[in-house]
A and B are shown apart, each in its own frame.
Chain A
Amino acid sequence: MGATAMTAISEDQRDCYQEITNVAMGQAADRLARLLDVYVILPIPKVNMISASELHMALADTTVNDDVSAVCQGFIGSGIAGEALLVFNDASFSDLASLMNYKGPLDRHGELELLMDVSSVLIGACIHGIGEQLEISFNQGHPVVLGQHCHVDDLVKSGNHQWSQTLAIEIHYEIENVNISCDLLLLFTEDSVAKINQQVDYLLD
């Protein structure tokens, strides 16, 4: 039996995921806004069941030709597990450095430091916000750098996809008036989908 049959989400569930993500990304944006003293533009998040090949498209969609740097961080709680993937446009680093009052040289090491700071704020707040609303307490693993100054294609290629279809939440962050943008992708493991859907159904009930 194909996995596709059991891993669909209904319109009500999608709406609920979107609203929950909306609240969580708002909390993350608020922390970033206060840290950098800026206004973060918040679009409506995308929620979809995607396949490994579509993951490639989801990523390529947002950062077409630019060089990117990326961090991923696992999270787990109440039998639900996933990975948060933050893809950062490399063109953002100079503006980010000045907003964060970063005085050191903006070399690979300097960029890495900035990348880690931003990802801990955005990933941490977002995962916490989603967990709080679904009454799941997520534990986070250590962040791992997937690559610096690479192409989106390389990020996906380096991954070892052993899943066919899973739940993906895509959030695009942009900062008003400066050249900073990044994408946060939350991917739940295939096994987690039924469980997290159940948590959503409690809220919808």
Chain B
Amino acid sequence: MALPVLICDDSSFARKQMKRALPDGWEIDLTFACNGVEGVEAIRQGKGEVVFLDLTMPEMDGYGVLEMIRKEDLPAMVIVVSGDIQPDAQERVKKLGAMAFIKKPIDKEKATQILTEFGILSEAE
């Protein structure tokens, strides 16, 4: 079965860039969300087993999404993809349960490396 992957970012350009950075031939079921509220809703519906999450968003930001995931104990492995790369931001999201932090701009190499590191992407893929 294809893996449900969610890209949550308010910028359409950033969503597109993220989609392009996903490894070729990775068998997934991809969903997009434009803000944190949509993101949480998609995760509740089981559309985000793996989530690529932006931090600065209207409605609900990335920190809010991480808090909701923890509060509702939702099954999501979150990779934060952010332009806010300050040491404090990285520490805060790790504390809130994010699995990894990737600096924007994202590219295929960085995405593949993280996915492989956490065993989400197997060697065969």
Contacts and interface: CB of A to CB of B under 8 A. Distances in A.
Mutual binders A and B: yes
Interface of A: 12, 15-16, 18-19, 22-27, 29-30, 33-34, 39-40, 42-44, 133, 203-204
A19 to B, nearest CB: 4
A34 B104 CA distance: 18
A34 B85 CA distance: 11
B83 A39 contact: no
Interface string B59-84: 00000000000000000000000111
Contacts of B82: 26
Contact of A204 (B13, B83, B85): B13
Contacts, number: 54
Contacts of B104: 22-23, 26
Contact of B87 (A22, A27, A33, A43): A33
Given A23-B104, A29-B84, A34-B86, 20 more contacts: A12-B13, A15-B12, A16-B11, A19-B13, A19-B14, A19-B83, A22-B56, A26-B82, A26-B83, A26-B84, A26-B85, A26-B86, A33-B86, A33-B87, A33-B88, A39-B89, A42-B56, A42-B83, A43-B56, A44-B58
Contacts of B86: 26, 29-30, 33-34, 39-40
Contact of B56 (A12, A24, A44): A44
Contacts of B17: 19
Nearest to B91: A39
Contacts of B105: 23, 133
A39 B88 contact: yes
A26 to B, nearest CB: 4
Given A42-B56, A133-B105, A25 B83 contact: yes
A15 B85 contact: no
Contacts of A34: 86-87
Interface of B: 11-14, 16-17, 56, 58, 82-89, 104-105
A43 B83 CA distance: 11
B93 to A, nearest CB: 13
Most interface-central of B12, B13, B58, B105 (chain A CB within 10 A): B13
Contacts of B88: 33, 39
A16 B13 contact: yes
A12 B12 contact: yes
B11 A30 contact: no
7 contacts: A12-B13, A18-B11, A27-B83, A39-B86, A40-B86, A43-B56, A44-B58
Contacts of B12: 12, 15
Contacts of A133: 105
A27 B85 CA distance: 7
Contacts of A33: 86-88
B60 to A, nearest CB: 14
A12 B17 CA distance: 13
B112 to A, nearest CB: 20
